[in-house]
A and B are shown apart, each in its own frame.
Chain A
Amino acid sequence: MDRRKFLKNSALTSSLFFVPSFLKAFESVDTSRLGFKRLVVVQLAGGNDGLNTIIPYNNDIYYNARPRLAITNDIIRMTDDLGFHPSLAPLRSLYDNGELSILNNVGYPNPVRSHFRSMDIWQTASDSNTYLQSGWLGRYMDIYGKKPYNAIEMDEQLSLAMKGQYFNGIATNNYKVLYKTAKDPFFRNVLSHYNDTHLSEHNLGYLYQTMIEATSSAKYIFENTKVKSSQQEYPQNGFAKQLKNVAQFINSDLDTKVFYTSLGGFDTHANQQNKQARLLTQYAESISAFVKDLKQNNTFKDTLVLTFSEFGRRVKQNAANGTDHGAANNVFVIGENLKKAGFYNNLASLEHLDSNGDLKYEIDFRTVYATILSKWLDADDRIVLNQDFEKLNFI
């Protein structure tokens, strides 16, 4: 084998001499950063049962509707009416510090009870009868983003939420693997020969551009992520791993505005109790470790965490000790300087339900987005959401 020749060649191809000019431009350091505020979205997929998460422990209707499913023991009582599921104990200190705001009865008009459709509605911020092909965070990035790594999803596949009309974020559950793939010498050789003339406006040109962006983003993320392992211990589960990576990116000061994470398995039609308890434990322990990690690195003050689920569940339990798809649900906002910490509003009536037996919504989820866009991300929410929504007062 001719190692010397190989080394010579790889040294050449990586030298700037062989890199097309637009590639150089792309990789040059961008001085106009997006600002310091970051948003971390946590999606609880499957429809988390909000009533057994934030429990109306003094309400007879709750106990009557759920004879075998109501939580009776170890409720963490926060107010005279509402308490936390025992699994949420790790979040108590956040609540006490005024770093957690819980918005009750968040939903939208004419709720859809299909996972997919409702998730699309949450991710695209559409009305329940319109279909949008771009997500709210993607549209935000259409205007304010520059590089795919400005929005990172900790998954193999990019959610609709992170796709704009023009912008696509980066999805990777393992940035090292993405880097390794992109680093394949064959791809590197192809790109080093790539000739841009007359192609960029065609589909093939688009493919090359995307390949270049992916390669550059993978390189950017890999090279700028400090491997120094965090002092903070995280629980052993996939969701914690996602948050640990997010903390690593944030603490490495990557130029990323939006992070998207997801915890699935909340579709508890049967034998809900243990399943939900286990998931909420994963959620609360991971979030608690994440916040501690950020605090140790002084980055919590610039981070806002939004947790939602595509819908809540029916007030009445079903025959299989589970709950069926419902409508309005609670949303958690975690951050340092919350304007209204604790419970943002009261739980909706358990007596006056909609015709399906579900909680009626009081807060349109898009007012939550509008608030975050305008007050946290400093963006024009009306352009991103295509409508003028009221702003709330939690931040």
Chain B
Amino acid sequence: MKQEELQHLYHRAGFGWHPRNYKEISKDRKQVVDALFENSKSILPIQLDFSYLDGLNQDDLKKFPSVVKDIQKKNKKKILELNYEWLKKLIYSNTLLRERMTLFWANHFVCRERNPLFAQQYNNTLRHYAIGDFRVFVKAISKNAAMLRYLNGKQNRKRKPNENFARELMELFTLGEGHFTEKDIKESARAFTGYSHNFEGGFVFRKLHHDYGFKTFLGKTARFNGDDIIDEILSNKQCARFICQKIYRYFVNPKLNKTHIEAMTDVFFKDYNIENLMRFVLLSDWFYAEENIGSKIKSPVELLVGIANTVPVTFQRQRDLLVIQKLLGQMLLDPPNVAGWKGDKAWIDANTIMLRLKLPSVLLNNAVISLEEFGDFNDATRAGFLKNNKGKLPFKTLADWDTFLKEFNSVETENLHQVILQGSINKGTLAYLETLRKTSKRDYCIQLMSLPEYQMC
């Protein structure tokens, strides 16, 4: 496999390329992709310590308001911990493709849950089905406690149906706008009545609240239940197409290509097997076409994880990671609404671009971006800067440059831009890079990470 193809694959199926994957250059495409799936076979859920909830039940909470307050406090902290654990998984996990796809699904089956136990469960559900059977996946989502709370499935009862979930199921999760009617929403909402969950987040079906009557949905009439509705939706090829469009936008190119998407749709519609679909994408020639390489703007999480992948960095204060996510506009577990983050250009505005450009140097190099033409001057500047900035830097981090130098030993400093940057480099910027002295691999790495090109993947 060619170096540039490998890099592209690892930017999309993971969070960037790393010299440790050099050896794969001798393998063919199928072997490399096979290995990606093989490595993602195991499912490693996040398991936080929830012992503070042991022995508690709904009635206790009703009886003792003071307990509620205490629990709420702990819950709030736990959510932050969950955020941190998830980020750690993205950075360090060996099940690369599974984590990549978990992140993708989190912005597809969008859900915001403040109960950390349910939030963890939801996150693990995404991870569990990430490269599995889409049909089973949708059904699991429809019965998940966090989702039942988020889109009012719990309040959906025979006497008083709540259409929130039914609407988003079709509009955002499966078919897309314009492929169903308001009547389809009303009828399918009835099929999901009676769905509820218990204190531990397990699914509970309340027969008394379920509407067993006939429903007319997408032109068919039957005593549909929720699972039936999902089967009916999936029997519509538009559902496969809608998912493939989203996969294409996220994994291939924000600009859609109809021919490629139709080919994907044919594959996916056969069995709704996510692994088969992703294999098809990652093995196809068009995936590696030049127009797709470096065509995506990294999300804040992609940016952050990518930096940490290249130069190992320790955050001395957990909350700094939250602050960065907040500043850049993507706090994991806290999507803006059920439509999720818009992505692509929407990540970038005047404020975030400057923050993003400055972030690598702040995290890794005390906010200094070297001006290599004047090596000695620069060192003096850095010393002066450090003195002036003592204690003023916004984040407390420790960058492990030794490891970076060891791992990137095989890459010549003057070629570093080829592995740090993805896609085409602006001509003028390339000319500027040529004027740089490149005496320090570390300085050059920071310089490259401080370019708009580094925002692309």
Contacts of A61 in B (CB 8 A): none
A156 touching B65 by the CB < 8 A rule? no
B313 an interface residue at 8 Å Cβ cutoff?
no
Q: Which residue of B lies closest to A171 (CB)?
A: B351
- Residues of A near B338 (CB, < 8 A) are 131
Residues of B within 8 A of A1 (CB): 374, 376-377, 380
Residues of B within 8 A of A195 (CB): 426-429, 431
Residues of chain B contacted by A320 (CB below 8 angstroms): 65
Which residue of the partner chain B has the closest CB to A199?
B426
Interface residues of chain A: helix, strand, loop or mixed (majority): helix
Q: Contact between A193 and B428 (Cβ–Cβ < 8 Å)?
A: yes
B371 near A186 with CB under 8 A, answer yes
The stretch of A206-214, A278-286, A361-369 that contacts the partner chain: A206-214
B254 at the interface (CB under 8 A from A): yes
Query: Which of A27-35, A177-185, A346-354 sits within the interface?
Result: A177-185
In the complex, A307 has a CB within 8 A of chain B: no
Choice from A9, A186, A203 contacting B344 with Cβ under 8 Å: A203
Binds A, one of B32-40, B187-195, B353-361: B353-361
Q: Contact between A204 and B426 (Cβ–Cβ < 8 Å)?
A: yes
Given contacts A157-B327, A158-B349, A187-B357, contact A208 B342 (CB under 8 A): no
Q: Given known contacts A157-B327, A190-B451, A211-B452, what 17 new A-B pairs fall within 8 Å (CB)?
A: A6-B374, A156-B351, A158-B351, A172-B351, A181-B358, A184-B358, A186-B447, A189-B371, A193-B429, A197-B427, A202-B295, A203-B254, A207-B348, A207-B456, A210-B348, A211-B353, A214-B351
A170 on the B face (CB < 8 A):
yes
Partner of B429, one of A163, A171, A190, A215: A190
In the complex, B296 has a CB within 8 A of chain A: yes
Which residues of A in the span 127-175 have a Cβ within 8 Å of any Cβ on B? 131, 133, 148, 156-158, 160, 163, 168, 170-172
Q: Quick check: B337 and A203 within 8 Å, CB to CB?
A: no
CA distance A171 to B432 in the complex (A): 30
- Whether B452 lies near A213 (C-beta < 8 A) is no
Are A217 and B348 within 8 A (Cβ)? no
Q: Does B339 sit within 8 A of A, measured CB to CB?
A: yes
> Interface residues of B toward A: which range?
35 or more
A190 to chain B: which residues have CB within 8 Å? 429, 432, 451-452
A6→B426 contact, CB < 8 A: no
Docked-complex contact B371 and A214, CB < 8 angstroms: no
Q: Is A26 positioned at the interface, with any CB of B under 8 Å from its CB? A: no
Contact A208 B374 (CB under 8 A): no
Q: Check: A5 CB closer than 8 A to any chain B CB.
A: yes
Task: Answer whether A182 and B354 are a contact pair too, CB < 8 Å, given A187-B450, A204-B452, A206-B348.
Answer: yes
Q: Give A206-231 interface residues, CB cut-off 8 Å to B.
A: 206-208, 210-211, 213-215, 217-218
Question: CB-CB < 8 A to A133: which residues of B?
Answer: 339, 342, 346
Q: Which residues of B contact A375 (CB under 8 A)?
A: none
Binary contact readout A317-358 vs B (1 if CB under 8 angstroms, 0 otherwise): 001100000000000000000000000000000000000000
Q: Is B373 interfacial (CB-CB < 8 Å)? A: yes
With a cutoff of 8 Å between Cβ atoms, the chain A residues found around residue B31 in the complex are none
Q: Which residues of A contact B201 (CB under 8 A)?
A: none
Q: Is the CB of A185 within 8 A of B371?
A: yes
A22 at the interface (CB under 8 A from B): no
Given A157-B326, A207-B348, verify A184-B337 contact (CB < 8 Å).
no
Whether A168 contacts B354 by the Cβ 8 Å rule is no
Q: Can you report 27 A-B residue pairs in the complex whose CB atoms are below 8 A from each other?
A: A5-B374, A6-B377, A9-B373, A116-B336, A120-B337, A133-B346, A157-B329, A160-B336, A171-B349, A181-B358, A186-B370, A193-B431, A194-B429, A195-B429, A195-B431, A199-B426, A203-B295, A203-B344, A204-B423, A204-B456, A207-B348, A207-B456, A208-B452, A210-B348, A210-B350, A211-B357, A214-B351
Chain B residues near A182: list those with CB within 8 A: 354
Q: Are B297 and A203 in contact (CB under 8 A)?
A: yes
Interface set of A (CB-CB < 8 Å, partner B): 1-3, 5-6, 9, 116-117, 120, 131, 133, 148, 156-158, 160, 163, 168, 170-172, 178, 181-182, 184-187, 189-190, 193-195, 197, 199, 202-204, 206-208, 210-211, 213-215, 217-218, 270, 319-320
Say how far A336's CB is from chain B's closest CB, in angstroms: 32
Is B2 positioned at the interface, with any CB of A under 8 Å from its CB? no
Name the CB-closest residue of B to A195.
B428
**Complex: chain B residue closest to A172, CB-CB:** B351
Bound complex: CA of A193 vs CA of B429, how far in Å?
6
A160 proximity list for chain B (CB < 8 A): 336
B450 engages A186 (CB within 8 Å): yes
Write the nearest CB–CB distance from B7 to chain A, whole angstroms: 17
Rounded to whole Å, the gap between the CB of A146 and the closest CB of chain B is: 14
**A1, A9, A158 — which one has the most chain B CB atoms within 10 A of its CB?**
A1
Interface 1/0 per residue, B406-430 and A, CB below 8 Å:
0000000000000000011011110
- Residues from chain B with a CB closer than 8 A to the CB of A213 are 350
| Bound CA span A210–B428, Å | 17
CB contact between B452 and one of A6, A158, A207, A270 (< 8 Å): that residue: A207
Asked if residues A203 and B374 are in contact (CB atoms below 8 Å), the reply is no
Q: Does residue B302 face the partner (Cβ distance < 8 Å to A)?
A: no
For A185, what are the chain B residues with a Cβ–Cβ distance below 8 Å?
Answer: 371
With a cutoff of 8 Å between Cβ atoms, the chain A residues found around residue B374 in the complex are: 1-2, 5-6
What CA separation (Å) do A2 and B379 show in the bound complex?
A: 12
Task: Name A166's closest neighbour in chain B (CB-CB).
Answer: B345
Interchain CB contact under 8 A, A3 and B377: yes
Minimum CB distance partner of A117 in chain B:
B337
For B362, the closest partner residue in chain A by CB is A181
Determine if A170 and B350 form an interchain contact, defined as CB atoms under 8 angstroms apart: yes
The residues of B that contact A270 with a CB separation of less than 8 Å are 69
Set of chain A residues within 8 Å of B452, measured between Cβ atoms: 190, 204, 207-208, 211
> With A163-B349, A189-B371, A194-B429 known to touch, is A203 a contact of B377 (CB < 8 Å)?
no
Q: Which of A6, A9, A172, A190 has the most CB of B within 10 A?
A: A190
Tell me if B101 is interfacial: C-beta within 8 Å of chain A.
no
Q: Is the CB of A178 within 8 A of B453?
A: no
CB neighbours of A116 from chain B (8 A): 112, 336-337
B148 within 8 A of A: no
Q: Are A211 and B354 in contact (CB-based, < 8 A)?
A: yes
Q: Closest approach, in angstroms, between the C-beta of B85 and any C-beta of chain A?
A: 23
Q: Please give the distance in Å from A17's CB to the nearest CB on chain B.
A: 15
In the bound assembly, the distance between CA atoms of A156 and B69 in angstroms comes to 31
Residues of A within 8 A of B376 (CB): 1-2
Q: Please, which residues of chain B bring their CB within 8 A of the CB of A171? A: 349-351
Determine whether B95 belongs to the interface, using a CB cutoff of 8 Å to chain A: no
Chain A neighbourhood of B358, CB < 8 A: 181, 184
